[in-house]
Amino acid sequence: MATIRNGISFLTATEARDPSNPAVKALSAVNLGDVRFPFGFFIREGKGKKFVVPATWQDKLRNLRVAFPDFPDDQTFRVCEGNDDGRECIGGCDGAPEVMCVKLHNPDEGFFGCTCIDGV
């Protein structure tokens, strides 16, 4: 079961592949192709189509602070990003073994990203 904090979901690699998960269902509505979004992305809809809009670091930080109000400004030392199909997150999170690279989803904003957090 995904961890949810203040409406923000954090999914492990297994949860990010579960077709019954609402975040996975929302993500399956678009084709991400061969692109990378280092700060995440939004799924938007217009003219009857769904499309992806890249997020900025400030977008990602704003979403992280919904779940963790004291989240630090700079996380550049942590490498955690979407894999080639965008369905799960991969990378090395510097820190103790309990620090994990996980999928981040805010259904209210249609935001998807990856982040390093302590033990989900």
In the chain, what are the domain boundaries? Answer: 3-118
Q: How far is CA 55 from the centre of its chain?
A: 11
pLDDT of residue 49: 86
Burial class, 47, CB count within 10 angstroms (exposed 0-12 / middle 13-18 / buried 19+): exposed
Q: How confident is the model at residue 26 (pLDDT cuts 50, 70, 90)?
A: confident
Query: Nearest to residue 75, comparing CAs of 114, 38, 116?
Result: 116
pLDDT of 118 strictly over 70:
yes
DSSP 16: G
Q: How confident is the model at residue 109 (pLDDT cuts 50, 70, 90)?
A: very high
Q: How far is Cα 53 from Cα 37, in angstroms, rounded to an integer? A: 9
- Residue 102, helix vs strand vs coil: strand
Q: How far is Cα 78 from Cα 61, in angstroms, rounded to an integer? A: 14
- Does this model's pTM top 0.75? My answer is no
pLDDT of residue 76: 59
Higher local confidence (pLDDT), 73 or 109: 109
* Structural element, H or E, at residue 41: strand 41-46
pLDDT of 95 strictly over 70:
no
Structure tokens at 67: 């779940």
- Residue 60, helix vs strand vs coil: helix
DSSP 56: P
Kindly state the average pLDDT of the residues 90-107: 81
Least confident of 6-15, 23-32, 79-88, 89-98: 79-88
